[in-house]
Amino acid sequence: MKLFVGLGNPGAKYVHNRHNIGFMALDRIAGDHGFGPWKAKHQGSLTEGRFGSDRAVLLKPETFMNNSGQSVQAAMRFYKLDPADVVVLHDELDLAPGKVKHKVGGGHAGHNGLRSIHAHVGPDYARVRLGVGHPGHKDRVASYVLHDFAKADEAWLDDVLRGLSDGAPFLAAGDAPKFMNAVALRVAPPRSGTGKKAPKPRSDTPQPPAVTPAPDAPSPLQKLMDKFR
């Protein structure tokens, strides 16, 4: 069984914040895959369901971002899970908007939600890093992540959320490459090939008559040689 943790802040005013993209991802996954109703458990909002034969629990900690680890630890204890069974979906400043990366272990890179999870369960869990871009200066980071996505972000954000939902069954099965491929098919679908040969004309299409090139005019030397033949 996998525990999917989406990071964000509880409350209506935070719903569309960049910091809440983890919550958005779980909402899309739960809705698309027919998970049960959300319930208040383990200091968070939780729902259970299946991807085929793979059982999964989705958790949105409601302790606010800085204390996310408390909720994650409580859920892990209840379900008797190890860090290897946990996947955290979170906003990532160091990735361009629309970019998605999967990794296992590593540092928290200053992300307060990850910092809290590290403190409570250690670093050996999987993360799905959801790029939201960087405001350009560290002093603007807090304001940036606590503001709503812009209107211009809607198209790529929808593609990312759809891709995460498409790939969720593979994530639950522990197949990260197939998960990433499913996401890529949404955010960067393959384009039709270019540089192909032009199609042959139909047999019933009238063709221009063939033009026979005129012979070159004889040179003066050629004319002189012809007189002595």
Provide the whole-model pTM: 0.82
Q: Choose, from 16, 19, 42, 120, the residue flagged as catalytic.
A: 19
Question: How, if at all, do strands 2-6 and 54-61 pair?
Answer: parallel
Q: What is the pLDDT of residues 14-50, one digit of tens each?
A: 999 999 999 999 999 999 999 999 999 999 999 999 9
Half-sphere exposure of 111 (CA within 13 A, CB side): 28
19 is catalytic: yes
Q: Which class would CATH give 2-187?
A: alpha beta
Give domain limits for the chain: 2-187
Q: What percent of the chain has pLDDT over 70?
A: 83
- Res. 221: pLDDT tops 80: no
The mean pLDDT of 3-10, rounded to a whole number, is 98
Is the confidence at residue 207, as pLDDT, over 90? Answer: no
Q: What is the rounded distance in angstroms from the CA atom of residue 102 to the CA atom of residue 88?
A: 10
Which residues 6+ apart lie within 8 Å of 48 measured at CB?
35, 36, 55, 56, 57, 58
* Average pLDDT of the segment spanning 89-118: 96
